[in-house]
Amino acid sequence: MLDALTPAEWEAIRLSLRIAGFAVVASLPLAIAIAFLLARGRFPGRTLVDGLVHMPLVMPPVVTGYLLLLLFGRRGPIGEFLEETFGIVLAFRWTGAALASAIMGFPLMVRAIRLSIETIDGRLEAAASTLGANRIAVFTTITLPLMLPGILAGMVLSFARALGEFGATITFVGNIPGLTQTIPTAIYTYTQVPGGEIGALRLTAIALVMALAALIASDALARRVSRRMLGQ
């Protein structure tokens, strides 16, 4: 099957992996901070913050893409500032696709990490503090290791969501072969042309294999981390 892939299909696969990987890595630090804030913080507007974080899950992806276009397009307030100040253009670029994918996968990452934080026994952190560890030491030696399964799960969920992102991406960055065309948009293109069914099936099979591999890898990593934490 791999031998039958065209250069354009290979490019769509490479671009999808690049976008998904960049989206996960770039959003991970913020996701950890937000998840920790929602799990441990008690402040006015917490429910509002929680709702805003999960908004991409309930809004149509096209609406998210259109809002990104309004804000980060070349004539948008943020997009114009980035272009004039740093020369960064997001609209109709692969970096814009990474931004859209990161936003769509962000709620899944935050939720997984937050659930992991909420299961941590606070007595372990309190004991470490009693023994003289400062907050940074407690976080790095106790909290963060116990969060790892949730972090891994969140990263995989976000990665898989990024690989399958379509609506926000095509609205914000279009479907430009070699530049912004990912696996989902390439499949969509194939479905719009006569005789494109075979190409669509090839990319669909690749997408299924990649998603399954990500889930298996996530489970294996989570099990390995759990065994290490238990000293096995």
| pLDDT value at residue 165 | 92
Please state the rounded mean pLDDT for residues 64-73. Answer: 94
The b-or-e profile of 30-54 (16+ CB within 10 A means b, else e) is ebbebbbbbbeeeeeeeeeebeebe
Please state the rounded mean pLDDT for residues 182-211. Answer: 91
More confident residue, 24 or 224: 24
**CA nearest 107: which of 157, 44, 48, 145?**
157
141-186 pLDDT tens trace: 888 888 888 898 899 889 989 998 999 999 999 999 989 999 999 9
Concatenating the DSSP letter of every residue in 83-135 gives HHHH----TTSHHHHHHHHHHHHHHHHHHHHHHHHHTS-HHHHHHHHHTT--H
| pLDDT value at residue 210 | 87
More confident residue, 205 or 230: 205
Q: Residue 223: pLDDT above 80?
A: no
Question: Hey, what domains does the chain have and what are their CATH numbers?
Answer: 2-37+45-176+183-229 (1.10.3720.10)
Least confident of 30-44, 55-69, 116-130: 116-130
Please state the rounded mean pLDDT for residues 128-153. Answer: 83
pLDDT band of residue 221 (cuts 50, 70, 90) is confident
Q: How far, in whole angstroms, is CA 2 from its chain's centroid?
A: 26
More confident residue, 102 or 2: 102
85-124 pLDDT tens trace: 999 999 999 999 999 999 999 999 999 899 888 888 888 8
Please give the Cα distance from 203 to 209 (Å, whole number).
Answer: 10
The secondary structure of residue 180, as a DSSP letter, is: T
Helix axes 77-86, 61-72, angle to 10 degrees: 50
- The mean predicted confidence, pLDDT, of the chain is 88
Helix axes 183-191, 7-40, angle to 10 degrees: 130
Residue 74: its H or E element: none
| pLDDT value at residue 225 | 64
Phi, psi of 182 (to 5 degrees): -100, 180
Please give the Cα distance from 42 to 52 (Å, whole number).
Answer: 17
Please give the Cα distance from 204 to 186 (Å, whole number).
Answer: 10
pLDDT band of residue 232 (cuts 50, 70, 90) is very low
